[in-house]
Each structure stands twice: as C-alpha cells, then as structure tokens.
Chain A
C-alpha cells in the first residue's frame, strides 16, 4: 500500500504538487491521469525520491520512504520511463540484470531470472540475451525496459508514460502485456499517462490530477459515469464519453440469457462497445452471446446497450 499524506512540491515558489493525499491499495493498477503540467510525473518521482518533496509524508507498506537511503529504496521499486533509458553499452542481459547485480544476486540466479523475464515479455531468450539496445526496435526496447523494471521482483512498479513513444500497434501489444503481467503477478503498479483510453483500459483505479491536486479518484467506470467536475468531464469524455462508457461495461452485465439469434456469437466478456460495433457492421439489432467455452448462452440487443 502506498500512502501519500498531504504531500507538496514547489519549484521557485510555485506548487507543482499541492497538498496531495491518496492511498493506492496493494495489488492495484493505479493510473495517474491528467494533462501536461498537472504534477502526475512529479508525484510518481516523489514515491522513489527522484524528486525530493517539500512537505508531507509518503509511506510504502507502512514504511516512511525517507527512512532508508534513496538507493536502497529504489532497488526495491521497479521503474520504467517513456524514454526507456537502456544502457547502450550493455547487452540486453546486462541491462535486465542491473538491479539484481546491485543486490549481489548469484550469477546463476541472475541468468535464470533474465531468461524468465525475456519469456514473460515474449522475447526469445537465446535470440535477445546478447543483443545490444541499438539492435532492437522501439517496442522491443520498451519490453526490455519493462523486464529490467521487474528484474528484482519488486512489489511496486512505477511507470512514467512507458508506452508514449511507440507506434499504436506496438502500444496496443505492450498494454496487453502489462495488463497480463499485472493480472499474473498482482504487483502494485502506479502508471502515469495523459492518454485516457490507455487509462480506462489498464486501470483498476484512476487518480485524475489537476494543477497538482486530486480532481477525482475512482474506478474507470466511476470516472466516466460520474465525473466529479467539469474538468474531469471535459478531460475524460468530451463528446464520446458515451462510447467510453460502453467500452467499460461487459456484455454479461446486460445480456438476455436463454434467448437465441443468428450469426457469429460474441464473448460475454467482450465490452458493450464491441457489441455495438458488431451490430453496426452486421446491420442487425441483436447478436448471440457465448461463454468462454463457446457455448451459446443468450443474446444482446441494441436496446440493452442504452438501458
């Protein structure tokens, strides 16, 4: 659990983070969301003390982050950034092994861990282990960056717009990876982005920041469905907030069990937005729904979407 308690940071008398309090529960995927200059990156960097804060207190797992040296603290926290910052003169293996080596892991244990992480990030260990960063594509570099952040198996992962600089297709793949890794490892992740779609897709909880303060705290559904202010409504939705809402709700919540319709069935786990897209494509107002094993369990209609 990460606990920020009345934390402030000023540069030249101007508050970048202003009396911010928030609590990230264990295992959460917390997205800090907001426009440029809202203090989200600064907030993230205060957690591992890359930015010293002026007042307030930050606890991780009940422990004051200022109770240990910054180096000790950072070696326990994974850190990945948009510009990745791989060491150009080190191989992929050496890059990933950075923190384990700082922690004096045994050589065998490091090698096994690198193999495990390359497999986790879907990079063939034998092919990639000895490559250098300049031999990798942007997406591969960011995979290595994420593997490096995970190397010493930290309980907490800080990610600062990690997928901001890659192309949309690669970004989509990396978002799936990090969602899968979060689901599999249950690590607490604090993730900074200004991309609302990315936030809605990944977050279990979103903190929207405005001028260094907390504008709203809630699940993606709460943020889109009940924006706390005009600022949040404008930032999150604009005109297509209805579509975003459909994207956040699963078909299973609105379907009619037992009824039947013709056509290719949709998964009950798919979003209502997927259902709307299917109806539009097929020129129909009802599509069948199947469960995970492919068995037909009901239908969903156009009217159900707007209920």
Chain B
C-alpha cells in the first residue's frame, strides 16, 4: 500500500508540475505569444523564476520561522502557572498584529528599515503570529486535565510534563496553526515586491504596472502552486507525525 501511495500522491504531482513550470516557463513563450499577441517579451525575464522563488521562500521561511519560535514561546509561557495572567494580553496583541493589513505594515516599516526584504519579513512575521499563538494555546490547553494530573502525581517535573506530555499531545493542533500561517505567508509575501523584495510577486506587479497580463498570470500561477504544494506537504507531515492512539487535528 505504502509504495503505491507515493506514486498516487497528489502532492508528488503538484510538486512535479510546479518544478516544471518554475524552470520551463520560458519554453512556454510561444503559447503566451499566441494567447496574448503584441506583449513583448511574452515571458517575464527580469530574473529567473527559480531565483524569485528562492528569495520568496527565504522570506517566508525567515518570517514564519521567527513567528513559530516566538509564538511557541509565548503560548508555552501563558499556559504555565507563572504566565497565566498574561494569557489574554498575548492573545490580544497577536490579534492586533493580524488586524493590521500587511500593506500598512510595509508602508510603516519602509521608513524605518529601508527598501528590500526586511520590511516584508516584519509584515509577514506580525501577520503570521496569530494563527500560531492561537493554535498553540488551544493545543496546550486541550491536553486532558486527567493526564496532566496523573503525570504530576507520578512525579514528572514541570519540564518533563511539557516535553513528554503537553507538547506531544498538542503537536497536531500546533502544527495545524503553523500550516495555516505559512500558507497565508506564501500568498502575502507577493506584496513585498512593491517595496523592493524579490518574490514571485515581482512579475505580478511588473505586469500590472506595464499592462502585461502574461506576467501577472505567470507569477500568480506559481505562487498558487507553491502555496498548494506547501499545504499538501504539511498535511503529509501531520500524518507522519501523528502519534499512535490520537486523531489528526484537522
């Protein structure tokens, strides 16, 4: 069963399709030329799509990585006895981060951080924090009270309780939050191109500015496939990490 499941996996085929487009877009020039006569060049060529994707993925990785680390630390802190009083404050701050439109964050961050990737990372980081914190808190608070009570009663230290009981049992819910956050960040990262970051949004904004629809399509399709592929890989990771005797979160 398992050998076949890799070949029949949609994630594999989406991955193959995405990679083929990433490297083979210039080969599709005749098709774009035929569909959109008069647009020249027919395929975005101010940089390779692979280089754009690498930069795009790097921004998402930096922002989501930082959001995951900070989100986990905060969620763990506010679910321990010492940090309980800060729980609602942290939730509120994370919600405020999410309500700020990333475009507004970019506008505010550029004067402070200059053009380039840094304002984009800040915007993605703030925007991605909420789903991670909310899910991590929900996951940690969802660990059955009886299990924690028994663990404490048998003499697990607070650190052992966190490592051996809380985190493994909360992991599916935590991972689901990271999955949502990363998927959103991949889509949102495109606007970084308006402040000088290289992303798969660069062809989109170039196309919009220069009235070149094929560029918009090329960028948008790649971003969408990248987001879908990442989401599918997270789904696989969730199944792979699924603990015996537990259900996946979503």
Contacts and interface: CB of A to CB of B under 8 A. Distances in A.
Interface of A: 48, 50, 70-75, 79, 81, 83-89, 91, 98-99, 102, 132-135, 145, 148-149, 158
Nearest to A89: B243
Contacts of A158: 153
Given A85-B147, A85-B149, A86-B147, A72 B155 contact: yes
Contact of B154 (A75, A83, A134): A75
Interface string B229-247: 0000000000000011110
Nearest to B150: A85
Given A89-B243, A89-B244, A133-B245, A102 B151 contact: no
A133 B165 CA distance: 15
Contacts, number: 74
B144 A132 contact: no
Given A50-B152, A83-B146, A89 B169 contact: yes
Given A50-B149, A81-B149, A89-B169, A102 B245 contact: no
B156 A102 contact: yes
A88 B156 contact: no
B248 to A, nearest CB: 13
B59 to A, nearest CB: 35
Interface string B131-165: 00000000000001111111111111100100011
Contacts of B245: 88-89, 132-135
Contacts of A86: 147, 150
B155 A81 contact: no
Nearest to A82: B146
Given A79-B153, A98-B151, A132-B245, 6 more contacts: A50-B153, A72-B155, A74-B152, A81-B146, A84-B150, A88-B169
B168 interface: yes
Contacts of B153: 48, 50, 74, 79, 81, 158
A99 B164 CA distance: 13
A74 B243 CA distance: 27
